[in-house]
């Protein structure tokens, strides 16, 4: 298997911008691609802010900053997406992902590794749309990518073992802890963590029915006080209602629609209203 020098990240939203930051900090030539120029500008600004915060805290020096800046390129042209490893972090829609991978296969050599950061779509299902599925793998970072240590490497039925070994080394270079998992609904974390969100929303619904005074902030306060870094409602706002609700729906359907995993109408309503969380300015909380 070849050496990884250049990493291209497709999608410069919440996850893509964070992964690009991690990639440049680990010393890889990094290309960040998005179709939307405004998103790209926002991503560039947030990456710069992140690095300047590290500089201000003395975690990096000005040489590091200059080095990171020199390693990252921003583009809205798909033709620029030529790399040794491509990490797709675009919208959570199967067709959008397979269309993109098909185009990426046309402009990259056979030894380019193709990875998806999908939270919930089956890796085997995406692989069906690819010409060479042996080089395809799930590479699931957590939000915020620069902070969260875990990466789930999702091995599809055709994923070459060497791809997994190579990505374990790449994760290590990025300062991440890789865990290899099978292509199961919600992989590991998104399945186990489902109840954190769902139960909190059922509690809210039940309290409303009983006329009790409970709101998202009060539930978040209790859970953060009990040791969780973020409460479930804060976390859903950070993740994005579209992504989080989509994962709930996929895990629920894939496991035979058990009552305990039923997606919440509260979240469905937020989604329908366009209140996606931090990225839209409003979710369970408001953001200025």
Cα separation, 198 vs 101, whole angstroms: 32
Q: Which is nearer to ligand NAD, 170 or 239 (CB)?
A: 239
Q: Active-site residue among 23, 116, 117, 119?
A: 119
Residue 130 CA to residue 99 CA, distance in Å, equals 9
Q: Candidates 55-63, 152-160, 239-247, 260-268 — which segment interacts with ligand NAD by CB under 6 A? A: 239-247
Q: Is 35 in the site for ligand NAD (CB under 6 A)?
A: yes
Taking the least distance from each CB to ligand NAD, the nearer of 24 and 243 is: 243
Active-site position among 17, 116, 160, 190: 190
48 catalytically annotated:
no
Rounded to 5 degrees, what are φ and ψ at 67? -65, -45
Size of site (CB under 6 A) for ligand NAD: 29
Name the burial class of residue 210, with classes exposed (0-12), middle (13-18) and buried (19+) by CB atoms within 10 angstroms of its CB. exposed
Which positions from 75 through 114 interact with ligand NAD, judged by CB under 6 A? 89-92, 96, 100
Instruction: With beta carbons less than 8 A apart as the criterion, state whether 37 and 68 touch.
Output: no
Residue 140 neighbours by CB under 8 Å, 6+ apart: 117, 118, 119, 151, 152, 153, 154, 187
- Binding to ligand NAD (CB under 6 A): which residues in 38-57? 39
- Is residue 1 within 8 Å of 82, Cβ to Cβ? no
Provide, rounded to whole angstroms, the least separation between the CB of residue 180 and ligand NAD.
Answer: 17
- In the region spanning residues 241 to 270, those forming contacts with ligand NAD, defined by CB under 6 A, are 243
Please give the positions annotated as active site.
119, 140, 152, 190
């Amino acid at each position: 298997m070849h050496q990884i020098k250049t990493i291209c990240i497709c999608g410069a939203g919440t996850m893509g911008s964070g992964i690009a930051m991690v990639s440049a900090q680990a010393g890889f030539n990094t290309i960040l691609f998005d179709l939307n120029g405004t998103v790209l500008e926002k991503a560039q600004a947030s990456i710069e802010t992140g690095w300047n915060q590290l500089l201000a805290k003395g975690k990096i020096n000005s040489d590091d900053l200059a080095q990171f800046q020199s390693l990252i390129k921003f583009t809205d042209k798909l033709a620029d997406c030529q790399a040794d490893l491509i990490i797709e972090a675009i919208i959570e829609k199967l067709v959008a992902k397979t269309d993109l991978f098909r185009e990426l296969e046309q402009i990259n050599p056979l030894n380019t590794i193709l990875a998806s950061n999908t939270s919930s779509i089956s890796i085997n299902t995406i692989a069906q749309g690819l010409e060479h599925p042996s080089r395809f793998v799930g590479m699931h970072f957590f939000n915020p990518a620069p902070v969260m240590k875990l990466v789930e490497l999702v091995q599809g039925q055709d994923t070459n073992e060497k791809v997994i070994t190579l990505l374990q080394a790449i994760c290590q270079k990025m300062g991440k802890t890789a865990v290899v998992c099978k292509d199961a609904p919600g992989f590991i974390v998104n399945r186990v963590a489902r109840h954190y969100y769902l139960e909190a929303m059922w509690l809210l619904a039940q309290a409303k029915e009983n006329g009790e005074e409970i709101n998202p902030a009060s539930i978040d306060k209790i859970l953060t006080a009990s040791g969780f870094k973020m409460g479930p409602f804060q976390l859903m706002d950070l993740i994005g209602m579209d992504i989080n609700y989509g994962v709930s729906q996929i895990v629920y359907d894939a496991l035979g629609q058990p009552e305990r995993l039923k997606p919440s109408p509260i979240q469905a309503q937020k989604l329908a209203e366009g209140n996606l969380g931090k990225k839209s300015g409003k979710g369970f909380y408001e953001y200025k």
